[in-house]
Amino acid sequence: MALNMDRRSLLTSAVLGSATLVGATALGSLAPEAAFAKSDDVEPGAPDPNFAEGRVTGINEGMLLVAGSDGTLWRIRVTNASSIWKLHPTSLDKVAVGDGLYARGVRLGDGTLAADAIWVNIVNLQVHIAALAPKKIHFDHRGKRIIGHVVPGVTAASYNSTPAIADMTMVQVGRHAQVIGAWLPDTNEIEIATLYTSTIEHNH
Amino acid sequence: MLAWIGSVQPLLLGAVLLWSAQAKLFSRYAAAHARRTALAPLLGEDRAVLAYRTLAGVEAVLGAALVLPGLVRLEAVAATALSTGFLGYLAYAKIKDPKASCGCLSAQPIPINGRSFGRAGLMLAGSVLALVSGAAWPGAFAAHPVAGVALLLAEFAAIVVFSPEFDEHWLMPLRRLYARLSHPLASPGAFDVPLESTVDQLHKSSAWRDLARSVTSDVREHWDEADWRVLVYSARYAGATASAVFAVPRLRYDPQAVRAAIVDENGGTLAAVESHAQPEYAV
C-alpha cells in the first residue's frame, strides 16, 4: 500500500511539478496522415488478430483463459500495463470465471494476446426506462426487462449530451436511454456505469 | 346468474373488437405495422397487409353486430371461433417467431407475452359465456342494472390491464407519480464528479490529442489530488512501455489546463506536455 502511495505521489509530481516541457512535435508528427499511417495487416472481413472476446473459463497467474463465442480459445496475458475495466478501472483479482470480456492488445508469437485493455462484462444497450425503484432502474430492451442497479459513487448520468454527473434524479420514466454498464453474468441485471438520456419532452 | 353474466358479454366483446378494428383500419402506420406482426413470416409480407385489413373488416362487422342486440347465438358462435382462432394464432406465432409483435389492439410493436394470452383468454371466456347464455343484453341490464355495469367496468379494466397499448395512459403516469413522490434514485450528497466526466474533459484537451496515438490502454487507475484528478494510461514512447499521466481539473471545465507527462518504468519523466489554446473552428 505504501509502495502504491509512493508511486502515486511520484506520478502526481511528474505531471503537476514543473518538469521540462517538450513541444508536442517531439512526440511524432501531428500531421493528419500520421494518424492513418499505421499499417493494419487485417484483410477486410477477416478477424482482427489483436482483438478477443468471450467468457472467462480460467484464471492462472496473470493469464486469462477465454472461450470465444465463435469457438476460439484465447489465452490473454495481463501485465502491469494492461487496463482492466469492470464497471470502473480495476485489477485482475476482480475478474471472475464466467465473466464475459472484450480485450485488445498485441498477438505474440506463442499465440497469446498481450492485453493492452480489457473490458469485463461491458454492455451497451438502447433501452426505454420502464420504471424506477429504490437504487434500481427497470429498462425495457426490445420487449425484455433488464434491471439496472445504481451503484453509489460510480453510476453517472449524462442528460441531453452534457457532461456526466452523479445526480440520477432527473431520470424519467418512459424516456429513451443508452446505457453502458457491467452485466452480472447469467442474469438480466446490470450495474450502470453511464446512462445517457434526455430531459426534454417528446410528444409521441 | 350465469345467464345474465353471459348476456352482457357481447357488449365487452363488441367494444374490444370495434376498438381493435379501428386501430387496424385508421392508423397511419397500419400497413407498415402489418409487415412487422407475426402475420408477415406466416403469410408473406404482401399477404400480411391484406390479411391484416381483412381481419380488421371482420372484427368491425362482428363487433358492430355484437353491440347491437340481435342474433345473439350466431354472433356468439362467431366470436368464440374468432377468439379461439386468435388464441391459436398467438400460440403459433409465439413458437414460430417469438420476437414478432402480436398486432392486436394497436399499431404499436409489442411482443407477444403473458398479457397477450391473458387478454385473448378473457375474450374467449366472454365468448363462451355469451354462447351459453344466448340472451340479449337489454334484458339482463333491466334485471341487474348495478351489477351489470359493475361487471362490465371490471372486465374493461382487466382488458386495459392486459393491454400494453394502454400503458402510456395509466401505467406510465402511475410510475411517474411514484417516482415523484418517493424519489427512488435520490442520493443526498452525491456531488462527486464521475470519472466519465473527467475523461470527457480530457478528450477535449490538446494534451490528449498530442499523446493519444502513444496511449495503448484504457484508464488504468485514477485518483484525486486537491483540485486535480490524475488519470494514468499505458503508453508506448520511443519504443518502450511507459505510463501516460494526465492531470485534469476536477471541479471546473477547462480543457486548456490539462497537463500530461510520460513516465518510464523507473519513474523518470520522459516528456511533459501542457495544453495550449484550442483552435476555434467555424461549425
Domain coordinates in residue numbering, chain A: 48-120, 122-197
Q: Is residue B200 part of a domain?
A: yes
What pLDDT does residue A124 have?
96
Same domain, B122 and B33: yes
B3 touches chain A (CB under 8 A): no
Q: What is the mean pLDDT of residues A109-133?
A: 95
Asked if B217 lies within 8 A of A82 by C-beta distance, the reply is yes
Question: What number of other Cβ atoms are within 10 A of residue B202's Cβ?
Answer: 22
Place of cell 441485471: A189
What pLDDT does residue A20 have?
52
Domain boundary among B181, B214, B231: B181
Choice between A29 and B179, residue whose per-residue pLDDT is larger? B179
Q: Is residue B281 part of a domain?
A: no
Question: Nearest C-alpha of chain A: how many angstroms from B8?
Answer: 34
Assigned C-alpha cell, A202: 417528446
Task: Kindly report which listed range (A102-106, A151-155, A193-197) carries the lowest average pLDDT score.
Answer: A151-155
Percent of chain A with pLDDT strictly greater than 70: 84
Q: What is the pLDDT of residues A39-72, one digit of tens each?
A: 566 788 888 889 999 999 999 989 999 999 999 9
Compare CB distances from B175 to A15, A131, A158 and report the shortest one's residue.
A131
Same domain, B212 and B79: no
Mutate which: A6, A15, A87, vs B, most B CBs within 10 A: A15
Q: Is residue B222 part of a domain?
A: yes
Report d(CA B108, CA B10) in Å as an integer. Answer: 26
Report d(CA A24, CA B117) in Å as an integer. Answer: 66
The sheet carrying B240-249 orders its strands as B221-225, B228-237, B240-249, B259-264, B269-274
What pLDDT does residue B281 have?
62
A156 touches chain B (CB under 8 A): yes
Asked if A156 lies within 8 A of B214 by C-beta distance, the reply is no
| Third-level CATH fold of A48-120 | OB fold (Dihydrolipoamide Acetyltransferase, E2P) (2.40.50)
**Which structural domain range is residue B210 located in?**
195-274
What pLDDT does residue B280 have?
61
Same domain, B84 and B199: no
What pLDDT does residue A29 have?
47
Same domain, B140 and B166: yes
Same domain, B242 and B161: no
Task: Kindly report which listed range (A8-17, A22-31, A60-69, A155-164) carries the lowest average pLDDT score.
Answer: A22-31
What pLDDT does residue A28 have?
52
Report d(CA B90, CA B96) in Å as an integer. Answer: 10
Chain B residues in contact with A36 (beta carbon < 8 A): none
B114: left (phi over 0), alpha (psi -120 to 50) or beta: alpha
Same domain, B11 and B59: yes
Digitized pLDDT (tens) for each residue of chain B, 283 residues in all = 778 888 889 999 999 999 999 988 888 777 787 887 777 777 887 888 888 889 899 999 999 998 888 777 888 899 999 999 999 988 888 887 776 666 566 656 677 888 889 999 999 999 999 988 888 888 888 888 899 999 999 999 999 999 888 888 999 999 999 999 988 888 776 678 899 999 999 999 989 988 998 999 999 999 998 899 999 999 998 888 999 999 999 999 999 999 999 999 888 888 888 887 766 665 4
Same domain, B22 and B127: yes
Total of domains in chain B: 2
What's the gap between Cα B248 and its chain centre? Answer: 39
Question: What number of other Cβ atoms are within 10 A of residue A44's Cβ?
Answer: 4
Q: Is residue B189 part of a domain?
A: no
Q: Is residue B282 part of a domain?
A: no
Domain boundary among B154, B181, B208: B181
Report d(CA A23, CA B272) in Å as an integer. Answer: 8
Same domain, B124 and B67: yes
Asked if B197 lies within 8 A of A130 by C-beta distance, the reply is no
Same domain, B245 and B131: no
Report d(CA A58, CA B108) in Å as an integer. Answer: 45
What pLDDT does residue A33 have?
52
Give the CATH class of A122-197.
mainly beta
With contact defined as beta carbons under 8 Å apart, do A95 and A64 qualify?
Answer: yes
What pLDDT does residue B41 have?
75
Q: Is residue B256 part of a domain?
A: yes
CA angle B227, B271, B224 (to 5 degrees): 20
Same domain, B93 and B200: no
- pTM for the full model? 0.81
Question: Which residues, in sequence order, are CB contacts of B82 under 8 Å at separation 6+?
Answer: B17, B58, B59, B62, B127
Place of cell 429498462: A139
What pLDDT does residue B40 have?
77
Q: What is the mean pLDDT of residues A119-128?
A: 96
Domain boundary among B155, B181, B207: B181
What pLDDT does residue B95 have?
85
Cα–Cα distances in angstroms (integers) from residue B7 to residues B1, B60, B62, B158, in the given order:
10, 20, 16, 18
Annotate A116-141 with b (16+ C-beta within 10 A) or e (fewer): bbbbbbbbebebebbbbeeebbbbee
Same domain, B162 and B121: yes
Q: Is residue B258 part of a domain?
A: yes
Same domain, B127 and B199: no
Report d(CA A64, CA A116) in Å as an integer. Answer: 13
CA angle A75, A79, A83 (to 5 degrees): 95
